[in-house]
């Protein structure tokens, strides 16, 4: 609570004066994340080891001081944003890869390691850490674990939770817990590792992470298929997987996304069609050509008007260019957007995209859909000018109706970005009263004074719409 007197001297003693900041300029830098929700902390600290994190949390309990763990601050739902003052605990000094063990195919890392840097370090060992959030060049492994990040490769390789074997966690009360094992198998006791993954900084602060690795795929083939009809594109996605080919990525762009990119890059995309699929298969070269040919046949049989296959790395890059350009292209449509990462069973994608089209008409909004068709995770972008109160109100109503539709289709409100502040008003819709209560009891058991990352998940908060 603002107005309290902070024990600055004690905080500085724990982490060092050089790792404690509280000037207005510094506090402003740690007041927001990529959601643009913001609130000033009272102090920002940069601990350097597990013992310091533990001491800080013990002090926070004594002083009833809220603590907000933070990685790179790239979260999309305000999960790292402080509330009502408090201490932001930045974990970026924990930036060492402690061990790469090629024989047991594991890596032990500190949470502040940048995801893409880890992936580069593994490459000379022929090892692969598959989770590929689009933010991997700047987000941290700790943030990825806390949010259970995923990306286009999830359709074949899964998400962050599938690669976390164990954790060193400082619990909200300051005690240090070690979860999991260094082995792929391990079934002793409750799976506390899984409980921690995706806990959004509310159950503990990770200071060491044991990751499972796999061999790097030898090669890849990339195809782009053009579908005049959206339903045909969606049928092709299911049919490819039913034919026992599991691509590493199947990305979709709807007509509004295709048009946005074409207006931005002028690369000759077909703006009259309803969908583009970008499909990649990876693995041993001997089977890849066969898989790519089979995928092309399936797409053409099911109504694709054209399928292009990249024959070189340059051509592969060209095919990906359209997909990568979607986000920057959107900036030309409106100054702001509400980006939802709803997810439905892949067979329900056509129903979802049709429903979104109806919402766009009903609420007079521009809504652009693209994303990971292989796992049903469709990024739905409501384009708007947040200063236009009327447009904002219509967008707010469209989001609520969208969420109801997603749940009716058997989906989830978030495939990647999490709950944080932005989705907290809606969490109960998905998990129900019982789910919310069970999670609240776990939180209370581990954090009796509600010190760690309060105001997230459980506290409905509509700040999102005002951000
Ligand atoms: C351009 C862009 C693209 C993105 N694309 C994707 C995507 O494809 N897929 C995806 O899943 N997400 C994506 N994101 C969202 C974001 O990058 C992820 O949620 C990422 O995992 C956040 O990592 P971070 O280091 O920035 O964490 P922060 O934003 O700093 O924190 C996120 C949460 O993690 C907690 N936390 C951080 N470190 C720790 C720790 N050591 N111990 C305990 N809790 C901790 C924080 O308290 C907070 O609750 C994207 C974001 C941007 C800006």
E-strand ranges in 116-213 read 127-128, 164-170, 176-180, 205-212
Whether the pLDDT of residue 459 is over 80: the answer is no
Q: How many A from CA of 146 to the centre of ligand 1?
A: 7
As a whole number, the mean pLDDT across the chain is 94
Q: In Å, how far are 349, 359, 363, 387 from 465, measured between CA atoms?
A: 26, 18, 16, 11
Tell me if 219-328 shares its fold with 333-408: yes
Report the CATH architecture of 97-215. Answer: 2-Layer Sandwich (3.30)
Q: Supply the residue whose CA is at minimum distance from atom 43 of ligand 1.
A: 205
Q: Three-state DSSP class for 20? A: strand
pLDDT tens digits, residue range 264-273? 999 999 999 9
pLDDT tens digits, residue range 118-170? 999 999 999 999 999 999 999 999 999 999 999 999 999 999 999 999 999 99
* pLDDT given for residue 466 in this prediction: 42
* pLDDT given for residue 465 in this prediction: 41
The CATH number given to 333-408 is: 3.30.70.2740
* pLDDT given for residue 458 in this prediction: 83
Residues 6+ apart with CB under 8 A from 370: 251, 252, 253, 254, 257, 323, 326, 378, 379, 381
Ligand 1 atom with the smallest distance to the CA of 80 is 48
Q: In sequence order, what are the beta bridge partners of 282?
A: 220
pLDDT tens digits, residue range 232-281? 998 999 999 999 999 999 999 999 999 999 999 999 999 999 999 999 99
* pLDDT given for residue 3 in this prediction: 60
Q: How far apart are CA 391 and CA 385, in angstroms?
A: 7
1 compared with 402, residue with greater pLDDT? 402
Cβ atoms of residues 196 and 210 within 8 Å: no
Instruction: Choose among 137, 142, 118: nearest CA to 197.
Output: 142
Q: What are phi and psi of 98, to 5 degrees?
A: -80, -30
pLDDT tens digits, residue range 299-348? 999 999 999 999 899 999 988 999 989 988 998 899 999 999 999 999 89
For Cα atoms 254, 255, 257, give the angle at the middle one, nearest 5 degrees: 65
Q: How many A from CA of 71 to the centre of ligand 1?
A: 7
**Spans of all domains in the chain:** 8-92, 97-215, 219-328, 333-408
Instruction: Choose among 108, 89, 90: nearest CA to 98.
Output: 108
Q: How many A from CA of 21 to the centre of ligand 1?
A: 22
Mean pLDDT of 282-291: 94
pLDDT above 70: percentage of residues in the chain:
98
* pLDDT given for residue 334 in this prediction: 92
Mean pLDDT of 429-444: 95
Do strands 106-109 and 205-212 pair parallel, antiparallel, or not at all (unpaired)?
Answer: antiparallel
Q: How far apart are CA 125 and CA 113, in angstroms?
A: 18
* pLDDT given for residue 1 in this prediction: 56
Q: Three-state DSSP class for 381? A: strand
Whether the pLDDT of residue 374 is over 80: the answer is yes
Instruction: Choose among 172, 28, 82, 80: nearest CA to 417.
Output: 80
Give the pLDDT band of residue 36 (cuts 50, 70, 90). Answer: confident
Global pTM reads: 0.95
In testing the pocket of ligand 1, which one of 80, 197, 324, 337 has its CB within 8 Å of the most ligand atoms? Answer: 80
Q: Going by CATH, does the domain composed of 219-328 fall within 3.30.70.2190?
A: yes
Q: How far apart are CA 329 and CA 117, in angstroms?
A: 27
* pLDDT given for residue 441 in this prediction: 96
Q: What kind of fold does domain 8-92 have according to CATH?
A: 3.30.43
In testing the pocket of ligand 1, which one of 146, 325, 375 has its CB within 8 Å of the most ligand atoms? Answer: 146
User: Which protein residues touch ligand 1 with a CB less than 6 Å away?
Assistant: 33-34, 69-76, 79-80, 91, 111, 133-135, 139-140, 142-144, 146-147, 149-151, 200-201, 205-206, 416-417, 453
Q: Three-state DSSP class for 308? A: strand
Q: How far apart are CA 58 and CA 7, in angstroms?
A: 13
pLDDT above 90: percentage of residues in the chain:
91
Whether the pLDDT of residue 463 is over 60: the answer is no
Q: In Å, how far are 419, 440, 453, 466 from 428, measured between CA atoms?
A: 11, 12, 19, 21
Instruction: Choose among 16, 80, 78, 83: nearest CA to 45.
Output: 16
Torsion on CA atoms 136, 140, 141, 142, rounded to nearest 10: -150
Q: Other C-beta atoms within 10 Å of 75: how many?
A: 28
Cβ atoms of residues 162 and 140 within 8 Å: no
* pLDDT given for residue 69 in this prediction: 98
* pLDDT given for residue 202 in this prediction: 98
């Amino acid at each position: 609570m603002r107005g309290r007197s902070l024990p600055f001297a004690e905080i500085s003693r724990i982490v060092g004066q050089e790792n404690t900041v509280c000037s207005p300029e510094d506090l402003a830098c740690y007041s927001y994340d990529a959601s643009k929700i913001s609130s000033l902390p009272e102090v920002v600290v940069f601990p350097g080891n597990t013992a310091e994190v533990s001491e800080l949390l013990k002090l926070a309990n004594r002083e009833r001081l809220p603590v907000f763990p933070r990685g790179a601050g790239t979260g999309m739902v305000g999960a790292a944003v402080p509330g009502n003052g408090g201490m932001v605990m930045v974990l970026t000094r924990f930036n060492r890869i402690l061990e790469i063990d090629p024989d047991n195919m594991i890596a032990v890392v500190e949470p502040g390691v940048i995801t893409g840097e880890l992936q580069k370090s593994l490459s000379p060992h022929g090892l692969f850490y598959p989770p590929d959030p689009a933010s991997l060049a700047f987000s941290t492994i700790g943030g990825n674990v806390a949010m259970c990040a995923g990306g286009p490769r999830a359709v074949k390789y899964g998400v962050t939770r599938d690669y976390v074997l164990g954790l060193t966690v400082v619990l909200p009360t300051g005690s240090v817990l070690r979860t999991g094992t260094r082995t792929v198998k391990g079934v002793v006791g409750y799976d506390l590792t899984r409980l921690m993954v995706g806990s959004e900084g509310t159950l503990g602060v990770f200071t060491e992470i044991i990751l499972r690795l796999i061999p790097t795929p030898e090669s890849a083939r990339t195809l782009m298929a053009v579908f005049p009809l959206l339903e045909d594109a969606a049928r092709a996605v299911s049919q490819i997987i039913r034919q026992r080919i599991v691509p590493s990525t199947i990305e979709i762009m709807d007509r509004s996304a295709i048009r946005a990119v074409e207006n931005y890059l002028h690369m000759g995309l077909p703006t009259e069609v309803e969908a583009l699929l970008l499909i990649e298969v990876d693995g041993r070269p001997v089977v890849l050509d066969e898989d790519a040919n089979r995928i092309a046949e399936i797409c053409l049989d099911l109504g694709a008007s054209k399928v292009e296959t990249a024959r070189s790395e340059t051509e592969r890059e060209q095919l990906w260019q359209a997909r990568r350009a979607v986000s920057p292209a959107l900036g030309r449509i409106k100054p702001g957007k509400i980006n939802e990462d709803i997810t439905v069973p892949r067979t329900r994608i056509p129903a979802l995209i049709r429903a979104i089209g109806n919402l766009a008409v009903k609420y007079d909004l521009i809504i652009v859909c693209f994303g990971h068709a292989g796992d049903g995770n469709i990024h739905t972008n409501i384009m708007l000018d947040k200063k236009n109160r009327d447009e904002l109100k219509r967008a707010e109503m469209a989001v609520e109706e969208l969420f109801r539709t997603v749940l009716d289709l058997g989906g989830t409100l978030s495939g990647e970005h999490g709950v944080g502040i932005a989705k907290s008003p809606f969490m109960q819709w998905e998990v129900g009263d019982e789910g919310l209560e069970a999670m609240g009891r776990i939180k209370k058991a581990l954090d009796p004074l509600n010190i760690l990352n309060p105001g997230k998940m459980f506290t409905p908060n509509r700040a999102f719409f005002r951000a």
